Copies of this chain bind each other. A is one copy, B any other.
């Protein structure tokens, strides 16, 4: 996928003019292994099993448990349709699940709430930000998550559930959804740190000339910030709608945590906006430096020319072949002229000193 295309996650052209609700997986990950894991837990009990091969037979959700179905690999559209039938997921939601270049959003349906996010990982080699779509379906007492490939994982959360770390076992599905969102947003902090490092590197390079940077480097930083902002800006609205919504999905206890998450998100957006201001400031510094360097170059040329052009003229004069040029006959004419030229050079030197060019 080209660079610009990566920023602009868009409805795949294959889907143009298709009837709404048509299930087409538009991503690239068609060879990854598919896994469907079911976790069931409450304050006392915990169970984890793969249900890949017996989706239709699995009783789900079970009332006394909080259940979490974790699906990885989306290229088998039939399978996704089966999953959809487990809890009556609307055709539009299934379509959005598979359309893995969605803008983050929240949709409220009668029996569940659908949240779609873009998780981000920083690739140390290509220095690119790698997005992956995470879909969350939050029901009465269950959560379903959909990921395209196994590279992004929520295993740390499974550990926390298994080992009863924190309050997750004693809270319900709403807290589980919050915990997933919390991990996704936590990961954004890593991205912003990387971007901060890069801005700092550009800053140092510009200020202390430690290394040569190009205007492209600044432009690429700007583009990454745009990409990043595009991903986290809609989350603000998602969290507000989630908390404010009348559905009884979010309990009072969890709402407090969502507000905390909202603060984190605002902080991220603030930082990106400041970074954008800094980057555009750096572009100005770059341009000004470039223009200053031109001044420097022209100064050298002008000083040199100003000193030697008149001198070259003078030696030219005494290189003329007129028969009658009295100075040429003088015994010390040559030395007089040399002295005169030294004087001129010296005078020019003082002039440029005064102009603070030297």
Residue of B nearest to A175 (CB): B20
Verify B3–A203 contact, CB threshold 8 A: yes
When A4-B200, A20-B166, A295-B293 are in contact, do A271 and B10 touch as well, CB less than 8 Å?
A: yes
Q: Once bound together, how far apart are the Cα atoms of A179 and B18, in whole Å? A: 10
Scan residues 290-310 of chain A and give those whose CB is less than 8 A from a CB of chain B.
290-295, 297-302, 304-306, 308-310
Give this chain's copy count: 5
Chain A contact residues (Cβ within 8 angstroms of B): what range?
35 or more
Residue of B nearest to A274 (CB): B226
Verify A187–B301 contact, CB threshold 8 A: no
Scan residues 249-291 of chain A and give those whose CB is less than 8 A from a CB of chain B.
256-257, 259-260, 263-264, 266-267, 270-271, 274-275, 277-278, 281-291
> Which residues in B have their C-beta under 8 angstroms from that of A315?
313, 316-317, 319-320
Asked if A346 is at the interface (CB within 8 A of a chain B CB), the reply is no
Q: When the two chains form the complex, which single residue of B305, B329, B334 contacts A320, counting CB atoms closer than 8 Å?
A: B334
Using a CB–CB cutoff of 8 Å, the interface residues on chain A facing chain B are: 2-5, 7-8, 10-11, 13, 15-17, 19-22, 90, 92, 96, 102-103, 105, 107, 156, 160, 165-168, 179, 182-183, 186-187, 189-190, 192-193, 196, 199-200, 203, 206-207, 215-216, 219, 222-223, 226, 230, 256-257, 259-260, 263-264, 266-267, 270-271, 274-275, 277-278, 281-295, 297-302, 304-306, 308-313, 315-325, 327-334, 337-338
